[in-house]
């Protein structure tokens, strides 16, 4: 998504609304993938000569459960803001790390939006809060039923007996 900023870039107080859909379907980021196109809507405002971007992105994400490794699809929404400045205002060696620079009068938003989505995605995902995970012994998904393994913690009294017979 490329936005033409020429109508706002030199005029303090001007605003530009935008919306659209982005396709990130090929991206797989730490077990998270995009099931639907990302719907984005936002506004870029010229505030005292610098451009401030505010946007909201909505999408359907597919997570892998941390405990049972099942796939779960979830609605995800995040909002973010960025400050944009013209490339010619960049001072070599004194760049502001919070500012994104653009060349000419247009800006490519895909990467900015994708980066903001990735940092907002929670690191831990469970298919449900009481997910029972996989049996550490046989690997069965315990949400689907018990397995035949004896996974009770060993009784510490037997450890003492074990030591006596060592
Ligand atoms: Zn799970
Ligand atoms: Zn088992």
Read off the pLDDT of residues 67-110 as tens digits, 9 standing for 90 and up.
999 999 999 999 999 999 988 888 778 778 889 999 989 999 99
Q: In this model, does residue 161 exceed pLDDT 70?
A: no
- The mean per-residue pLDDT over the stretch 111-127 comes to 91
pLDDT of residue 124: 85
pLDDT of residue 30: 79
pLDDT of residue 90: 80
Determine the distance separating the centroid of ligand 2 and the alpha carbon of 151, expressed in angstroms.
7
Q: In this model, does residue 3 exceed pLDDT 60?
A: yes
Domain ranges across the chain: 2-131, 133-166
User: Mind listing the pLDDT tens digit for each residue in 23-50?
Assistant: 999 888 878 999 999 999 999 999 988 8
Determine the distance separating the centroid of ligand 1 and the alpha carbon of 68, expressed in angstroms.
4
pLDDT of residue 96: 81
Determine the distance separating the centroid of ligand 1 and the alpha carbon of 101, expressed in angstroms.
42
How far are the Cα atoms of 136, 140, 147, 153 from residue 150, in angstroms, in the given order? 11, 13, 9, 9
Determine the distance separating the centroid of ligand 1 and the alpha carbon of 66, expressed in angstroms.
6
Determine the distance separating the centroid of ligand 1 and the alpha carbon of 146, expressed in angstroms.
15
Sequence-distant contacts of 26-31: CB under 8 A, at least 24 apart: 27/114, 29/118, 29/121, 30/123, 31/63, 31/64, 31/125
- Of residues 157 and 107, the one with the higher pLDDT is 107
- The mean per-residue pLDDT over the stretch 124-140 comes to 93
Q: Nearest ligand to the C-alpha of residue 136?
A: 2
Q: In this model, does residue 16 exceed pLDDT 70?
A: yes
Determine the distance separating the centroid of ligand 2 and the alpha carbon of 143, expressed in angstroms.
12
Determine the distance separating the centroid of ligand 1 and the alpha carbon of 126, expressed in angstroms.
5
pLDDT of residue 87: 86
Closest CA to 32 of 59, 74, 64: 64
Q: Nearest ligand to the C-alpha of residue 68?
A: 1
Q: 166: pLDDT confidence band, cut at 50, 70 and 90? A: low
């Amino acid at each position: 998504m490329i936005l033409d900023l020429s109508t706002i870039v030199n005029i303090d107080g001007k605003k530009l609304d935008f919306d659209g859909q982005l396709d990130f379907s090929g991206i797989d980021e730490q077990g998270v993938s995009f099931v639907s196109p990302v719907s984005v809507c936002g506004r870029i405002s010229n505030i005292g000569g610098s451009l401030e971007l505010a946007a909201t992105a909505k999408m359907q994400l597919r997570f892998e459960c941390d405990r049972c490794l099942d796939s779960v699809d979830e609605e995800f929404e995040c909002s973010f803001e960025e400050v944009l400045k013209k490339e010619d205002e960049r001072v070599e060696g004194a760049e502001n790390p919070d500012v994104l620079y653009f060349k000419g009068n247009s800006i490519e938003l895909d990467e900015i939006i994708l980066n903001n989505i990735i940092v907002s995605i929670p690191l831990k995902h469970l298919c449900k809060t009481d997910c029972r995970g996989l049996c550490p012994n046989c690997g069965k998904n315990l949400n689907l039923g018990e397995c035949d393994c004896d996974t009770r913690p060993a009784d510490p009294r037997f450890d003492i007996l074990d030591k006596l017979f060592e």
